[in-house]
Amino acid sequence: MMLHIPQVLTREQVRQMRAAIDAADWVDGRATAGSQGAQVKRNRQLPDISPVAIAQGQVILQALAANPVFFAAALPSRTAPPLFNRYAGGETYGLHVDGSVRRVPGAPGWLRTDVSSTLFLCDPEDYDGGELVVVDAYGTHEVKLPAGDLIVYPATSLHRVEPVTRGERVCSFFWSQSMVRDDARRAMLFEMDQAIQQLRARLGETPETVTLTGHYHNLLRLWAEV
């Protein structure tokens, strides 16, 4: 399931974040890619140990914790610290799939990458090219969102970033391990949750919404890994 979540960050949060990360020291993005990804990756990133990246990543994690749509879509049990990348002058990231597990700095064990997220920190008119292209069973989808907006999609998807031919594309990206690892089940739960919310808004609390809410939580209880 691909989902566009608008205004995860406010315009002021984006402005402050850009001021902080634009002044930081960036490195070759291939430093964090696997062997396959490094062959097709040309961009720049903030090092994951950068104090600026860590501080600004916390801002994003706090915004996500306050966003009920992100929780309903990803059902995250753990989210990796956000990373930051930028593309300009023809930089691109060719077709690839994200690694299935990642180390989280300072944390034991591995994080399974069920859900990929890209948070846009610039507006579409700021650059040409740079579309996030996600390829799945339903076709090819191009994504280019306003600053502060988030796209969430299954980490199992093949995807690429088109060359940036004018301006600069700046984003944050990160992965979540979901309580429900199967994307089809996550999508079913998300649609059920949204339908329940809409029914409550229209009808108030009714015996039917209580019953549906019970089924939602029983399915989550059945499928969740916590």
Which CATH number goes with the domain that contains 173?
2.60.120.620
Is the same domain home to 95 and 199?
no
Is the same domain home to 103 and 189?
no
Is the same domain home to 154 and 203?
no
The parts of the chain modelled with pLDDT lower than 70 are: 32-37
Torsion of CA 136, 90, 129, 57, to 10 degrees: 70
Is the same domain home to 83 and 42?
yes
Q: Are 9 and 17 in contact (CB under 8 A)?
A: yes
pLDDT at position 35 is: 63
Is the same domain home to 99 and 164?
yes
Is the same domain home to 150 and 201?
no
Query: By residue range, what is the domain housing residue 203?
Result: 183-223
127-129 vs 164-178, strand pairing mode = antiparallel
Q: Are 44 and 164 in contact (CB under 8 A)?
A: no
101-103 vs 92-96, strand pairing mode = unpaired
* Pairwise CA distance, residues 4 & 47, whole Å: 27
Is the same domain home to 137 and 203?
no
pLDDT in tens, 6-38: 999 999 999 999 999 999 999 998 776 666 667
Is the same domain home to 164 and 214?
no
Alpha helices in the chain (DSSP H): 11-22, 35-38, 51-65, 68-74, 183-203, 207-223
Is the same domain home to 10 and 92?
yes
How many domains is the chain partitioned into structurally?
A: 2
Is the same domain home to 195 and 128?
no
pLDDT at position 39 is: 83
Residue 117 burial class via C-beta count within 10 angstroms: exposed 0-12, middle 13-18, buried 19 and up: buried
Is the same domain home to 129 and 217?
no
Is the same domain home to 68 and 94?
yes
* Pairwise CA distance, residues 3 & 108, whole Å: 30
pLDDT at position 140 is: 96
